[in-house]
Structure 1
Amino acid sequence: MVRQIMISLATLMIISSCKAQNTDSNDIKKNKNMERTTERFDTSTYYMERQGHEYQFEHYLRGKVRQFGGDNGSNYIEYAKKEKDLFGTYKEYYNKTGTLKLVGKYYYNDFDCGIWKEYDEKGYLIDEYDQDAPYKNYPWEKVEKFVKEELKLDLFDKKVFIHRYVDEETKTPIWDIHHQVGLIVYSIEINANTGKIIKQEEGEIEK
């Protein structure tokens, strides 16, 4: 009887040990599969090279880079975009550790786009969100085609502005296009759910 009890206890201990090992193994596997960034802000170059409160330079891959922040405990910010690209990259770094906090794309004129990722101070991914999700029925590609082919406008023209937002009351995603010809400003709003123009206005700029 005593021998049977001892055998049972030994068996339970072996099973428990195996479960613990499996749990530890799963945790390690899970951690290895977690996305992690090791990217850090180059604070030494930044403080040595910056003029006033910002540092600007040309990078052969990223184009024109503008960095600022870090004063009074604020995070470091970086914008980078090639001259002939409509879209650039935004990055934000933690002030204390210099590790990457936030990264995503932006349209050079006025809106964030694509997949944005947020990391904790140890570099682990904690959030990921798609800025384009509300506009999937009428995405950027259709807006670009409309502006180029229908309006005959140059997207690099400084007098052409494209903005987008979700109406707070109706929850409708809206593309807002403005362009100026002489002293006249033309405004077009497109419902991103239907692709239909819902507003079209023009007004003269006050002298």
Structure 2
Amino acid sequence: MKFLVIFLFTLLLSSCQGQETSKPIKTISSTPVQPKDSLMEKFNIQEFNKHQKNDEWEYIDKDGNEIRETYIEGDGYVVDINYLKYPFSTYKFFNTKGIIKTKGNYFHGNGFNKGIWTDYDEKGNIIKQINYDEPYKDYPWEKVKIWTESKNIDLLDPLTRVWREIDNDKPIWYISWDTKKLDKYSNQIIQNVEINGKKGEIIKEYTSSFGEEIPEKYR
């Protein structure tokens, strides 16, 4: 299920990079700013073809990280790296020749894009960089992380979600996590919090249920 969500996410990114909307994100560069590097990252197409089944190859590396490689016909190759001990995943998109086109990090489980995402041309030159952290510089991820730690939130839990949006010109953080409690229908109770991305103030708190055992008349 985890990889299904990530696969849908990568397809979306390949056609429309970035999910944070409502306000332009600072573009660092829209013209080549770095010459082609002899160590330019490339995708190993030959190795992928040895292992792939139905255009996909999933494996775990020596550090315990989950890696999923996917071929998208006519477009290229997507690589998603989900780290064992780190809440952010790495997204990489390579063209049909195996040359890197896009690279960036995002919070696991289809969460927010983190830091600088980079686009490359067909020769491996950097043509654009977008800083997704710019609108949230007053209350950045580092402060959000400290807040989650104060609440003993497990950032690696699949049910922990962190994302962010610009709502009426106001940056907002959205955080949800498993309380480890059950409702009367034996569904997990999820705590949800919205935080002002300027001042760090809590805007809203509420609970919801995770599961499918809620009687039809209450849905």
Normalising by structure 2, we get a TM-score of 0.70
Query: What does the per-residue CA deviation read over 1:90-110, in whole Å, with 9 as the maximum and x for residues that have no partner?
Result: 100112x22100011122231
Structure 2 unaligned runs (5+)?
A: 1-31, 184-188, 215-219
* Runs ≥4 residues deviating over 6 A: none
User: Cα RMSD (Å) of the superposition?
Assistant: 2.1
Question: Could you tell me which residue of structure 1 aligns to residue 152 of structure 2?
Answer: 152
Matches within 5 A, 1:1-207: 34-37=34-37, 38-60=40-62, 63-71=65-73, 73-95=74-96, 97-109=97-109, 110-149=111-150, 151-167=151-167, 170-181=168-179, 182-183=182-183, 184-204=189-209, 207=214
Identity of aligned residues (%): 31
Give 1:174 shift: 1.1
> 8 Å contact 1:62–1:81 — kept in the other structure?
no
In 2, Cα distance between equivalents of 1:92 and 1:132? 21
The higher-RCO structure (CA 8 Å, 6+ apart) is 2
Q: How many pairs are equivalent?
A: 171
In 1, Cα distance between equivalents of 2:47 and 2:146? 42
Query: What does the per-residue CA deviation read over 1:48-100, in whole Å, with 9 as the maximum and x for residues that have no partner?
Result: 211223112233469322110232x02210011331111232100112x2210
For residue 48 of structure 1, give the secondary structure of its aligned residue in structure 2: helix
Give 1:178 shift: 1.1
For residue 41 of structure 1, give the secondary structure of its aligned residue in structure 2: coil
In 1, Cα distance between equivalents of 2:145 and 2:106? 15
Query: What does the per-residue CA deviation read over 1:99-138, in whole Å, with 9 as the maximum and x for residues that have no partner?
Result: 1000111222312101111101111110011111111111
In 2, Cα distance between equivalents of 1:87 and 1:62? 14
For residue 65 of structure 1, give the secondary structure of its aligned residue in structure 2: strand
Bigger helix fraction: 1
**Aligned partner of 1:178: which letter?**
S
